[in-house]
Structure 1
Amino acid sequence: MNITGRLFGRSDPEVPAGTDTDTTVSRKAVSLAQEGRFNEAIGCFDRVLEEDPSNVKMWNNKGVFLDLLGREQEALACWEKALAIDPEFAPAWVSRGMLHRRRNRLDAALTCYDRAVKLNPNSAVAWYNRSGIFVAMQRLDDAVACYERVLAIDPHFVAAWTDLGYARFLQHQHEEAVACYDRAIADDPGSVRVWSLKGGALYALGEYRKALECFDRVLAIDPKYAAGWSMKCSVLYHLGMYRHALACADKALEINPDCELTAQVRKMLLSLTKNW
Structure 2
Amino acid sequence: MSTEGTSAFERMYATIDPLIESVFCAADECQIRGEYEIAIRLYKEIIEKEPNNGRAFQKVADCLDHMGNHADALVWYDKALESDPNNAEVWYNKGMTLRKTGYQEEGLSCIQKGISLAMSAPSPRYRV
Q: 1:106-185 maps to which residues of 2 (within 5 A)?
A: 106-155=70-119
Structure 2: unaligned runs, 5 residues or longer: 1-10, 121-128
Letter in 1 for 2:23: W
**C-alpha distance in 2 between matches for 1:14 and 1:95:** 21
- The CA deviation string for residues 158-204 of structure 1, in whole angstroms up to 9 with x for no partner, is xxxxxxxxxxxxxxxxxxxxxxxxxxxxxxxxxxxxxxxxxxxxxxx
**C-alpha distance in 2 between matches for 1:15 and 1:97:** 25
Q: Which structure is higher in RCO with an 8 Å CA cutoff and minimum separation 6? A: 2
Task: Choose 1 or 2 for highest CA Rg.
Answer: 1
**C-alpha distance in 1 between matches for 2:52 and 2:42:** 15
Which of 29, 33, 46 is the equivalent residue of 1:69?
33
Whether the 8 Å CA contact 1:90–1:119 is kept in 2: the answer is yes
Q: 1:1-276 maps to which residues of 2 (within 5 A)?
A: 55-155=19-119
TM-score, normalising length from structure 2? 0.74
Letter in 2 for 1:153: L
- C-alpha distance 122-100 of structure 1, shift in aligned 2 (>3 A): same
TM-score, normalising length from structure 1? 0.36
Whether the 8 Å CA contact 2:92–2:112 is kept in 1: the answer is no
Whether the 8 Å CA contact 1:113–1:126 is kept in 2: the answer is yes
Task: Give the percent of matched residue pairs that are identical in Structure 1 and Structure 2.
Answer: 15
**Does the residue aligned with 2:52 lie in a helix, a strand or coil?**
coil
RMSD between aligned alpha carbons? Answer: 2.5
Whether the 8 Å CA contact 1:66–1:72 is kept in 2: the answer is yes
Greater strand percent: which structure? 2
Alignment match, 1:25: none
* Aligned length, in residue pairs: 110
Off by >6 Å, runs of 4+ in structure 1 = 13-16
**C-alpha distance in 1 between matches for 2:80 and 2:104:** 21
Greater helix percent: which structure? 1
